[in-house]
Structure 1
Amino acid sequence: MKKIKGLVVGVGGQGIILFTRVLGEACLKADIPVIVSEVHGMAQRGGVVESSICLFGKSPYTSEGEADFIVAFEPAEALRFVKRAKKETKFVISKDPILPFAVKEGLATYPDLNSFFEEMTSYFSQVFLVPGEELAKEAGSVKALNMVMLGAATALEIFPLNREALVEAMLELLPEKLHQVNLKAFDLGFNYIKSIL
């Protein structure tokens, strides 16, 4: 099988590590070789969190121009990691910004998202903007953003996985009281992408 490499990025508290764990467990259940690596940048304080994922390969690190996919839980983080992309990279981006402390205090400015999204969609062939926060709230909890994004990424068939393997991994990793909300979040993300394909 062809090697698949990419990144899942965002800020601390968005559930990126759980996203990666569910994906990794689902791959193992499907007998797909997978390697993941996580980088936490002051995650508890809203710092950058980055997970590198590689299926059918030996190293998870994704160099410049090497990513097959980038899943960004926060739009400015997609901008931060855009150099790792190539023309064919598939982007799944939650379009809800999380303003850093410096921006809130007036010490820095947040990127102009409209021009950023226009540039992204004009250069890269597959950029999907997801109303992640809205869908997570519809599922029952804004904390379910990670499962919205997992559903959305899976809808693009980036990963050779079926829904059953992903759901089984999710249910094993989450406490039972969170199953219903997260299943709904996954399906909302999945169906959102399918509706615009």
Structure 2
Amino acid sequence: MNYLIVGLGNIGPEYADTRHNIGFMILNEFAKQEGAKFYNMRLAYYTEVSHKARKLFLIKPTTFMNLSGKALNHWMKDLKIPIENVLVLVDDIALPFGTLRLKPKGSAAGHNGLKHIEATLGHNNYARLRFGVGDNFPKGRQVDYVLDAFDKNELPELPALIDRSIEMIKSYATIGAELTMTWYNK
């Protein structure tokens, strides 16, 4: 079984450790733990890891957030991955910091990366792992907030949350969305 794991983010050092790039951060750590290296390929940084006889193709789109659907669509077709084996990792301001939620489908909730994926696919029936980044920003300052780095009090918690996200990705690829939700969505 093959799976496509898409970490959303923006390329460039100025975005590296921002809230909006948590998808990239999770995949970077996953690849590091597995001794895998990303390669700059068509529309994305690409690598693959194996877990329990499953192949996980990890991509970090190089299209910038607002065009994430292009990379997802290309790699889904190229690797012949059915939509039910696609998982998108995304930051979510509707969830408190540290909350991790796997969902089998759902709305884009104003997230530009998800909006573009939905527009490209023509539906929103794809799984996503929502990483809560909180909504500690004044009205109208959402963009500045997600493009900002995590706070000093959040940073110490990040490694454990990223590890838990990786566990959830492995679980998704092993036992599927429903059981993973039962185990991890608390």
Q: Taking CA–CA contacts closer than 8 Å with sequence separation of 6 or more, which of the two structures ends up with the larger relative contact order?
A: 2
- TM-score, with length taken from structure 1: 0.39
The structure richer in helix per residue is: 1
- TM-score, with length taken from structure 2: 0.41
